[in-house]
Amino acid sequence: MFEKGESAARNELLLSFKSLGNANVMIQKIFNMIGQSKFFEDFTVNDVEKLTSFMHAYEVEAGTTIIREGDIDDYMLFIIEGRVNILKTDSNGERRPMTIAGPGTTLGEMSMIDGEPRFASCIALDATTFAVLSRESMVEIIMEEPSFGSKILIKLITMLSQRLRSTSSELVHYLEHSQTQAI
Amino acid sequence: MFEKGESAARNELLLSFKSLGNANVMIQKIFNMIGQSKFFEDFTVNDVEKLTSFMHAYEVEAGTTIIREGDIDDYMLFIIEGRVNILKTDSNGERRPMTIAGPGTTLGEMSMIDGEPRFASCIALDATTFAVLSRESMVEIIMEEPSFGSKILIKLITMLSQRLRSTSSELVHYLEHSQTQAI
């Protein structure tokens, strides 16, 4: 079902972070951030507890690179506390800030699913805690709890669709603008 | 699981197309287009037959609007034969061509899942046949065949991820270009 991303150096960064153990130790903080999260908006308390039990929590200091563009990893993460800067390298090799993500935001879901290299880098602006959902855990959820697994997958599709709509709209705007300049 | 998109005028266009019945009447043509399709690339013959049995086939003449930007629909489609022009309305109200899609391409998967209005219009360039997967059928697949349902959902996520990577890259390119012009 998931064939790619089996590189040896996979998840290299993740192994360097301070582990807080199973994410259910953070359950109260996770409930605190849920109000800010599109991902969890139609999840029941039971769903959140179930998903959390499949996740691992980590904390990092401000300035830490959480996700490095180009890396081969196989997990996504949910920011529990702290803000994260998202940067993408442009063709001159310079890192261009794209957006800032806060508690409740999911990061890295594309690589979790498709195994392609990380598209952008994520650097902690504050001391940041986050919960990690690995591809392996996602497969476990799908096998053990297929209906809950579908709910998560549908959620991911919804979020990607929304991001694609907004990115495509921005692109149409720029194309329009650049054509206007050319006239 | 899918709460939105229950508008009265839902699927209005679809009802105007010539129905060819269950898509399994087109199974040979569907097998013919599979080689060109990213969606089906790791599907078994059995998977394709199973999915096809949940779909309905339609044919339209050249010039027909297959999907209309802004409409509330709840289905996606697979082009079996013919080419389709994808257009998006810009802020001046003009339709801007975005790309041309051929056999094997999926269209409209975002609205099938998230129930938001159609993002762009799709107009047949040739006489075109396509197979439709409705949200209702998708729910049926998830309920009746959860593991197959997950396979389709993962496929949709992979395709959306790839599209998001490519659209975001284009956007970064334009942002870079516009900044260079400003210097």
The answer to whether B157 contacts A160, with C-beta atoms less than 8 Å apart, is yes
List the single best residue of B38, B153, B179 to mutate versus A (max A Cβ within 10 A).
B153
Candidates B3, B158, B172; nearest CB to A114 = B158
Nearest CB neighbour to A90, from listed B161, B164, B172: B172
pLDDT at A179: 61
Looking at this predicted complex, what is its ipTM? Answer: 0.83
- Residue A171: per-residue pLDDT: 85
A180 interfaces chain B, CB cutoff of 8 Å: no
Flag if A158 and B113 touch (Cβ within 8 Å): yes
Q: Is A144 on the interface with B (CB under 8 A)?
A: no
Place of tokens 């054509």: A179
Q: Is there a contact between A59 and A108 (Cβ–Cβ < 8 Å)?
A: no
pLDDT in tens, A64-92: 999 999 999 999 999 999 999 999 998 88
Q: Is the pLDDT of residue A183 over 50?
A: no
A163 reaches B (C-beta below 8 A)? yes
Q: Within B101-145, where are the H helices?
A: 109-114, 135-144
B41 touches chain A (CB under 8 A): no
A51, pLDDT greater than 90: yes
Give the residue extent of every domain in chain B: 14-182
Of A1, A161, A172, nearest to B110 by CB-CB distance is A161
Q: Tell whether A139 lies on the interface with B, counting CB pairs under 8 A.
A: no
For residue A114, give the nearest of B114, B161, B178 by CB distance.
Answer: B161
- Is A170 an interface residue toward B (CB < 8 Å)? yes
pLDDT at residue B4 in the model: 46
Measure A172 CA to nearest chain B CA, in Å.
7
Query: In the prediction, which pLDDT does B179 show?
Result: 61
State the 10-residue block means of pLDDT for chain B, 183 residues long: 52 91 91 86 91 96 96 95 94 88 93 91 97 95 93 92 89 74 47
pLDDT in tens, A126-167: 999 999 999 999 999 999 999 999 999 999 999 899 889 998
Instruction: Identify the pLDDT of residue A106.
Output: 93
Note the Cα B72 to chain centre separation in Å. 14
Q: Per-residue DSSP letters for A70-132?
A: T----EEEEEEES-EEEEEE-TTS-EEEEEEE-TT-EE-HHHHHH-PPPSSEEEESSSEEEEE
Section A40-57 average pLDDT: 93
User: What does the pLDDT read at residue B140?
Assistant: 95
Q: Examine the pLDDT at A36 and tell me if it is beyond 60.
A: yes
What's the confidence (pLDDT) of residue A9? 65
Spatial CA neighbour of B75 closest among B130, B147, B154: B130
Q: Distance between CA atoms of B50 and B86, rounded to whole angstroms?
A: 29
- For residue B151, give how far its alpha carbon lies from the nearest alpha carbon of chain A (Å): 7
Q: What is the pLDDT of residue A125?
A: 98
CATH class entry, domain A14-182: mainly beta
Of B119, B154, B175, the CB nearest to A153: B154
The answer to whether A132 and A26 have CB atoms below 8 angstroms apart is no
Contacting residues of A for B1, CB less than 8 Å apart: 150-151, 154
Cβ of A176 within 8 Å of Cβ of B90? The answer is yes
What residues in A contact B113, CB-CB < 8 Å? 154, 157-158, 161
Give pLDDT, residue A156.
Answer: 92
pLDDT above 50: residue A8: no
pLDDT exceeds cutoff 90 at A122:
yes
Average pLDDT, chain A: 88
Cα gap A181→B58, rounded to integer Å = 42
